[in-house]
Amino acid sequence: MLENINENNLKSKKVTLESLAGTVGILSRNVGRLVTTVGDLSNKVASLDGKVDSLASSTSKGFEDMQEKFNILESGQENIKLRLDHVAYRFEVVDLKKRVERLEDRTGIS
C-alpha cells in the first residue's frame, strides 16, 4: 500500500492527517491479524513436532518388536531344520534296514 504513495501522488492529492490515521489504523489491524496468524501457525507447528516425535517413537518401537519376532522365527526355523535333518536320517536308516533285511533274506542270514 505504501508503494502506491509516491511523490507525484502526494503533489496531486492532498494527504490529510485523518486519511493518514485511517491508513495507519488499517495497517495496524492487518499487522494484528498477521501476528495472530503467525501465532496460530507457530502453535500448529509445535503440535506437529510433538506428533512427529510420537510417531517416530512408535515406529522405532514397532521395528524393535519386528526384530524380536524375526529372531523368534529364525530360531524356530533352525529347530525345524534340525528336525528335518533327523527325519531325513531316519528315512535313510529305515531304507537301509529294509535293504539289509532283503539281503539277509536272500542269503539266508537272520
For 35-61, the pLDDT digits (tens) are: 999 999 999 998 898 899 999 999 999
Query: How far is residue 34's CA from residue 42's CA, in Å, rounded to a whole number?
Result: 12
The whole-model pTM stands at: 0.42
Checking if the pLDDT of 8 tops 80, the result is no
Check residue 81 and give its pLDDT: 85
Ordered by start, the domain boundaries in the chain are: 2-107
Check residue 4 and give its pLDDT: 55
H or E, element range at 82: helix 17-107
Q: What is the mean pLDDT of the chain?
A: 85
CB 90 within 8 A of CB 96: no
- Among all chains, which residue has been given the C-alpha cell 495496524? 28
